[in-house]
Amino acid sequence: DAKTTQPPSMDCAEGRAANLPCNHSTISGNEYVYWYRQIHSQGPQYIIHGLKNNETNEMASLIITEDRKSSTLILPHATLRDTAVYYCIVRVAGSGTYKYIFGTGTRLKVLA
Amino acid sequence: GAVVSQHPSRVICKSGTSVKIECRSLDFQATTMFWYRQFPKQSLMLMATSNEGSKATYEQGVEKDKFLINHASLTLSTLTVTSAHPEDSSFYICSALHREGTDTQYFGPGTRLTVL
């Protein structure tokens, strides 16, 4: 089972900040939180990841709460091209490696 | 950097035939690759973990004899759907594990398989 929960859908006005929440209450102390997005009929695109400090790159910012049980992905100025399904992932131990178990994600619709 | 390609992007085949899908890491070496399947309006489902030079590890419920995985080099993994049937029609996506830093997976663009 996925180790994260996200709201199924959100709307955001174009040009405004999109704030996508994720709960990961069972995350262990050394596990990263990864964010990806999937635009229709494409493979998931890596956005950002973090451990406990807030992170920012050219695509987004990631805010992780102090207890690390939740995080928020922020798209500072959403555009129509940001309409996608956003996945928050915490890795799960597999056979000799870690693997991703995808949850249902949040379907973000950016409105003109 | 960290680009993953898949070939073909789209394939249509007749029921009973086999189809091979290639996954390549273009600018990094990947000892581990993953194969996912995605049905319409659903999330990605992990099928198997592919390790270079060893047998793949399949998730529960995935038939290893039907979905053959070969990871013969550090930049190439292949998924062969054997004796395909219409219910195998799906979007197949691979990812490659980039071990620099924090083991991030980078995904290919996906392959749309339609079995007639």
Pairing between strand B32-38 and B19-25? unpaired
Tell me the H-state helices in chain B: none
Give the pLDDT score at B16. Answer: 97
* Average pLDDT of the segment spanning B44-64: 92
Residues from chain B contacting residue A103 (CB–CB below 8 Å): 43
User: Is the CA virtual torsion A37, A43, A46, A51 positive or negative?
Assistant: positive
Smallest Cβ–Cβ distance between A43 and the set B45, B97, B108 belongs to B108
Two structure tokens written together for A66: 């102090």
Q: How close does chain B come to A101, measured CA to CA in Å?
A: 7
Residue carrying structure tokens 């990864």? A34
Q: How close does chain B come to A105, measured CA to CA in Å?
A: 8
How far, in Å, CA of B40 to CA of B69, rounded? 23
A:B CB pairs within 8 Å: 61
Pairing between strand B57-58 and B45-51? antiparallel
Look at residues B41, B10, B45, B7 and name the one whose alpha carbon lies nearest to residue B115. B10
Give the pLDDT score at A91. Answer: 85
How far, in Å, CA of A25 to CA of B45, rounded? 22
Reported as a pLDDT band with limits 50, 70 and 90, residue B101 is low
Residue pair A81/A37 in contact by the 8 Å Cβ criterion: no
Q: Does B111 touch chain A (CB under 8 A)?
A: no
Two structure tokens written together for B37: 């399947």
* CB burial string B39-61: b at 16+ within 10 A, e below: eeeebbbbbbbbbbeeebbbbee
Residues from chain A contacting residue B101 (CB–CB below 8 Å): none
Q: How close does chain B come to A100, measured CA to CA in Å?
A: 8
pLDDT digit string (tens) for A50-89? 998 899 999 999 999 999 999 999 999 999 999 999 999 9
Q: Which residue of B has its CA nearest to A45?
A: B107
Is B102 a residue whose pLDDT tops 80?
no
Residue pair B35/B50 in contact by the 8 Å Cβ criterion: yes
pLDDT digit string (tens) for A3-41? 899 999 999 999 999 999 999 998 887 888 999 999 988
Reported as a pLDDT band with limits 50, 70 and 90, residue A106 is very high
Q: Does A32 touch chain B (CB under 8 A)?
A: yes
Q: Does A97 touch chain B (CB under 8 A)?
A: yes
A98 to B107: CB separation less than 8 angstroms, yes or no: no
